[in-house]
Structure 1
């Protein structure tokens, strides 16, 4: 199970529009959940999973809609995955896509895992939360089911429907609402939230699936092909911010996300007078300063979010970058003592 209790702010995509449609004031709901008001428009930040669940619970109570989480998930659909959606793209089958989702879900959510199982002619896609006692987690689990339904509709065709939907908890509202929005009445008090469906769907080739899915993939690849050279470093930084918490922020992984060869990526960066290692260090420094501003995040958690295996590795890197320990910097920050800037690009490239 995942141990990082944070999720990307991308998990709030579409929140302003959906909450407004439910008669809520989005900014007020975010404030009451102690979340920044610009969170729904920031894809690269992180928020505590506990506060994310608290937000869903507050919205449920304030709107009077017991199915708030489920309907919000259906509203978000595949947009909630952001760049992760391109990691699960492939030229194979629906089954390949779901396997990629399971393998890479940690890039999006550090507080839950995806399960994907085969049992004869039955397939199951589940959502496993590390801490099942968090207030509001039931809404989060129903939201995940809604997103899962929309993902499979995108992969297998809009006519896809689950054979069974299982939820860990009793009905949160009228069971008829579940049947209406999901197309099936869920099984409650189950072992874990999951979608059960015919395994034959897994062999469907993506080329014969949803046209929108392939249009998005084509647009992404085309974007990479025509990406201006001066925009390349910013795009790499964006991917690094997503990949660092997984500890897999390598040039190979970034290149894979961009659908280019690692050597090609390194050569294009060098043409811009910058190295991949410099971008990695620069991104880690930026994120470290931001996380150190939040006293609720421990040093061990910061180390994990930056892709280090332990806090000592993070401490050594921070000292090398700024000549000061992260703890001392955090204590001095109140008096506006800022770490010195990165060395010049040329200095880094000349190492």
Structure 2
């Protein structure tokens, strides 16, 4: 994650999302220009776009009102061969355990936006997908759905049957199309399942060591050799500050600690703080600023009790929230809410007499 690096993403995922939107009569003709590209450049074989270009185009596509199910539908469309050489390595793996270890090692070939952690936990195994690039909520939710749906379907495809005791957990709010998850064959799905952004998929450990139907060790080794070569050209994170800000903004009912966020990236807390200092800030300063901005925004919603706001921001009690807010703003949360309401009333146009 060097600051000078410019992460890249295979353009094919964006092209498929555009095609899904166009099937719903959404005009995507101007979308490539948002990333400074032409449609031909975007659709070229092996085309890559920067993370910034990908996010800008995807964000515009999502906001275009194409339809809220775009991430879900992309996940339903993707199959293992969609992931090029990595997909062939996974298809020819001897066991699901080998397949998941390969996926973890080369996941950046699918997207540098998320990091995959795979671990066996007694009778179960867990796949944890954590965002490592800053992105807007709409694009975060798109990614969560596409990853969750595609990964679950890939696992079922490899086994050629549904997962035993499979479960899906997403941090995003429940979407309007939540009923469509029944198309995955009845796997339990839970939304708003974690305080920090990400996707978690759980399966039975008994599935992991079964020999897969398409196992071919020679083909897997050849495909993995090419994956190693491709990884040399995949860039990393461009801004530590933006990523930490995204994670702090998206946290629900908690205030993430420095070591907790650093652990998601497999680095020490002091290392992450050192990177933030190079970008002109510290974790403490960033955390205080963002928590205070979130508090101010939530206080603008009169339907939320101050106590609920305090717990949503991760405070242990309302008194602690009040002391921290007063230190940052010079007034209590209730006084701030009243002053904001008074300003809003003054700004409202007068009704004609």
Give the TM-score normalised by the residue count of structure 1: 0.54
Which of 9, 24, 27 pairs up with 2:26? 24
1:95 and 2:97 equivalent?
yes
Contact 1:115–1:127, Cα closer than 8 Å, also in 2: yes
8 Å Cα contact 1:121-1:200 kept in structure 2:
yes
2:112 to 110, 113, 123: 110
Work out which of the residue numbers 155, 158, 172 in structure 2 matches 1:155.
Answer: 158
Matches within 5 A, 1:183-198: 183-191=186-194, 192-198=198-204
Residue 171 of structure 1 pairs with residue 177 of structure 2: no
| One of 137, 145, 149 as aligned partner of 1:146 | 149
Partner SS state of residue 128, structure 1: strand
Q: Could you tell me how far apart the structure 1 residues matched to 2:169 and 2:160 are?
A: 22
Where do residues 229-268 of structure 1 align in structure 2 (5 Å cutoff)?
242-246=230-234
> Is the 8 Å Cα contact of residues 162 and 195 (structure 1) preserved in structure 2?
no
Q: Is the 8 A contact 2:96 2:208 kept in 1?
A: yes
For residues 175 and 37 of structure 2, the distance between their equivalents in structure 1, rounded to whole angstroms, comes to 25
Matches within 5 A, 1:45-56: 45-56=47-58
Q: 1:199 maps to which residue?
A: 205
The Cα shift of 1:43 comes to 4.4
SS of aligned partner of 1:14:
helix
Match of 1:86 in 2: 88
Rate the CA distance shift 1:44–1:189 in 2: closer, same or farther, 3 A. Answer: same
CA gap of 1:153–1:189, structure 2 versus 1, over 3 A, is same
Flag the 1:189–1:16 CA change in 2: closer, same or farther, 3 A.
closer
Contact preservation (8 Å) 1:118, 1:199: yes
Residues 240, 198 of structure 1: CA spacing in aligned structure 2 closer, same or farther, 3 A cutoff? closer
Specify every segment of 5 or more residues in structure 2 that has no aligned partner in the other structure, as ranges: 240-353
Q: Which has the higher contact order (CA 8 A, sep 6+)?
A: 2
CA distance in structure 1 between the aligned counterparts of 2:6 and 2:107, rounded to whole angstroms:
12
Q: Spell out, residue by residue over 1:214-265, the C-alpha distance to the aligned partner (whole angstroms, 9 max, x if none).
A: 7xx69x98xx9xxxxxxxxxxx9x9798343259xxxxxxxxxxxxxxxxxx
SS in structure 1 of the partner of residue 155 of structure 2? helix
Greater Cα offset, 114-123 or 160-169 = 160-169
Tell me, in whole angstroms, the C-alpha distance in 1 between the residues paired with 2:167 and 2:90: 24
Distance change in 2, residues 1:171/1:164 (3 Å): same
Q: Aligned pair 1:70/2:72, yes or no?
A: yes
Stretches of structure 1 lacking an aligned partner (at least 5 in a row):
225-235, 248-296, 299-351
Contact 1:91–1:206 at 8 Å: present in 2 too? yes
Would the aligned equivalents of 2:8 and 2:49 in 1 still touch at CA under 8 Å?
yes
Q: CA deviation at 1:161?
A: 7.1
- Alpha carbons 1:13, 1:76 under 8 Å: kept: no
CA deviation digits over 1:8-44, x for unaligned, max 9?
Answer: 2243353454232222234333334545423553343
> 1:59 matched to which residue of 2?
61
Of 31, 41, 44, the match for 2:43: 41
